[in-house]
Amino acid sequence: MSANVDNIDYKVAAEEEKRRRHDVMAHVHAFGIAAPQAAGIIHLGATSCFVTDNADLIIFRDAMDLLISKLVVVIDSLSQFARTHRALPTLGFTHFQPAQLTTVGKRATLWVQELLWDLRNMQRARDDLGFRGVKGTTGTQASFLSLFNGDDEKVEELDRLVAELSGFKGKSYPVCGQTYSRKVDVDFVSALSSFGATAHRIATDIRLLANLKEIEEPFERDQIGSSAMAYKRNPMRSERVCSLSRHLMVLIGDVLQTASVQWLERTLDDSANRRIAIPEACLTADIVLATLQNVVEGLVVYPQVIARRIRSELPFMATENFIMAMVQKGGDRQECHEQIRVLSHEAAAVVKQQGGDNDLIERVRKCAYFAPIAGELDSLLDPSTFIGRAP
């Protein structure tokens, strides 16, 4: 048997499966043809799930290792981006309406933090994986107890050795039916679906910022954004991340449904669904990570556009600073507030009704009431004084 482990005749296996309508037994017979002296004992005491469930758990472990390594790269690249732009002021948004200032780097840390939680979830799901091991047809190990003539210790040792040889360090689930609990699948795919939500959020933010022309994903020199509108620079990579992430997020529904309908020791209606949903979750997470890495490593920031937007909104945000400065000069807070209110509404009317620029600062400069702080207005409008501890 050892000499023929890799001697797999897939043509014979396919013919056997067509004949017997059973994938595992097709390979048992194909293996028996390759190793005829062992044909009589192959699969002795085992059930199909001894093969398929244990194989799935090995695949899950190795797949998560690959995904974790790619997620670490994305986190590192985005962390470098955050450090580089940690002190670059930018307009913050709540409800996608102008809010107080933040920095480009501080905003990126929102993304990094969620990715770090995804890393925690994926590592935990990976580390929590056990092995089905040698449990028999309904989890009682009866067939193996019979093979070992009722010797409990030998059955337990076999279970431990199989798990250890499969890379699980002797860690197998203490209880199972014919299958390991499908709650394991829920934990595994939940981590991936949760990452899908993070990826979608990040890509959506980048798409919004691209519309504002503040940040863009990489755009090749000869890349075409639109077949009709030659000037367009569509964020197609970020759009792809969103599209695939939506698929990744909903796959947990399949896995939850499967876990909820495991009749007694097991039912076979989980098999076909799992063979689609779980591999798709891994493959989708993989391409989302690859695409997200491409995006974050090539992000382009436009400081002048960012500064222009700050200039258009900062006058309103700075009004509290004006009031504080006037009070320090001996002014009355309520009177100052009323003066600012009137000037702000006049400036807002110019912006909204006439389509003009925000001229609040010029109105403040020209207002005799604010003469005591006229020389301080520029310093009171320095964006770096509005970003708090962000850097």
Q: What token pair was written down for 312?
A: 């258009």
The residue annotated as part of the active site, out of 69, 146, 226, 243, is: 226
Assess contact for 70 and 290: CB atoms under 8 A.
yes
Produce one character per residue of 148-185: b if its CB has 16 or more CB atoms within 10 Å, e if not: beeeeeebbebbbebbeebebebbbbeebbbbbbbebb
Assess contact for 182 and 270: CB atoms under 8 A.
yes
Going along 211-353, which residue ranges are E strands? Answer: 215-216, 300-301
Collapsing DSSP to helix, strand or coil, 40 comes out as coil
Which residues, in sequence order, are CB contacts of 3 under 8 Å at separation 6+?
35
C-alpha 301/C-alpha 317 separation (Å) is 24
Assess contact for 136 and 45: CB atoms under 8 A.
yes
CA angle at residue 276 from 270 to 277, to 5 degrees? 80
Annotated catalytic residue 146: no
Assess contact for 90 and 104: CB atoms under 8 A.
yes
Say if strands 97-103 and 300-301 run parallel, antiparallel, or are unpaired: unpaired
Q: What is the CA radius of gyration of the chain?
A: 31
Annotated catalytic residue 95: yes
Assess contact for 248 and 28: CB atoms under 8 A.
no
| Residues labelled as active-site residues | 95, 226
